[in-house]
Amino acid sequence: MFNPQRLIVIIFFLIGITASGSNKTISDHTLKPHFIPRDVYYSWQWHLPGIKAPAAWDITRGDPGVIIAVLDSGVDSAHPNLSGGKVMNGYNFVDDTSNTLTDSYGHGTMIAGIAAAPTGTGGVVGVCPDCSIMSVVIADARGICKDSALARGIRYAADRGAGVINISYGSALDNPELRDAVNYAWDRDVVIVASAGNEPGSSLSFPAAYANVIAVSATDRDDNPASFTAHGTWIDVSAPGVDIVTTGLHGKYAAGSGTSFSAAIIAGLAGLVRSANPNLTNDQVADVIRNYSSDPGAAGHGIDYRTARLDLQKALMETIAVTAVNSTVKEDPRTRFNKRALELTRLVNKAR
């Protein structure tokens, strides 16, 4: 379990005050602006500034070695915003083929763009723009997904190096085969994110309701629960899910609403956390997202909705604090901090 006092240590040293209250002089640093993509449709992606994505991108924009598996209807890898090797070909459990880089339904292409569309392509930007995408097809051209296909897809992604799995599908029925697949992936250090569902009410949706899955509900532009979102104490976190602009079919762009898109945002956040500190286990990553990416509950709504505004920067600052304080973790060459992140780490180490 992470200690919030680690963040307090960082804040104290950034403002030149020690924990005992005495003044401490630090160097006068030049501050750089938060990274703002120049992609054409970024200005339409209202959710990214709202969740402090630009500030988070100053810490990390992801790592190609971190794979976000999109278990969906496929991903259109010919889309200009997703081409050039961005999408890894997985397996098609609907047609029993290796064709996963096309998408007749469009849902998977939208999810991929929200989670990890790269910057600099002139279109939209994903939450984890430098992470890789693995396409695993578990839904047909009508968007219909069977438990058996999803279970096989989960195991496939876990066995092929996925660090994060996004599942924007759900059912009211608890299937042991699906539950076993989730636990199989969890035991292999995979972070599993799933949408809570678009039926207002507190009924459980699977796989989101499983203990080893991060269940995501949706909020609107004002951080209120979306009119369609599921809710309940079983929800782990919420994220924007209304009017989300992303990649669409045939090289175009689309906007949509739903907890599907909220889950994709959290999958992107999981990719950022795993990129900032690849030493964290899936349990630690999930803890950061559940407990440090926003405040539990919002005034007037209660913890039943978990509607506090998502804060990517806050989550990554906690990730950095864990890196700096945990002296038992060995240096991993895959960890790629920018200068600001390294500076924060040095400050915390100096305080120890």
C-alpha span between 319 and 56 (Å, rounded)? 11
- Three-class DSSP category at 112: helix
CA 188 centroid distance within chain: 18
Picking from 323, 350, 347, 348, the residue whose alpha carbon sits closest to that of residue 335 is 323
C-alpha span between 335 and 24 (Å, rounded)? 30
Q: What are the C-alpha distances in Å from 96 to residues 16, 90, 139, 170, 172? A: 60, 11, 12, 22, 26
Q: Is 47 a catalytic residue?
A: no
Residues belonging to the chain: 352
Q: Spot the catalytic one: 39, 58, 63, 72.
A: 72
Q: Is 77 a catalytic residue?
A: no
- Report which DSSP code applies to 241: -
Q: Spot the catalytic one: 47, 79, 107, 231.
A: 107
Q: Is 202 a catalytic residue?
A: no
Picking from 218, 210, 217, 219, the residue whose alpha carbon sits closest to that of residue 192 is 210
Q: Spot the catalytic one: 238, 260, 293, 294.
A: 260
C-alpha span between 296 and 283 (Å, rounded)? 18
Catalytic annotation, residues:
72, 107, 260
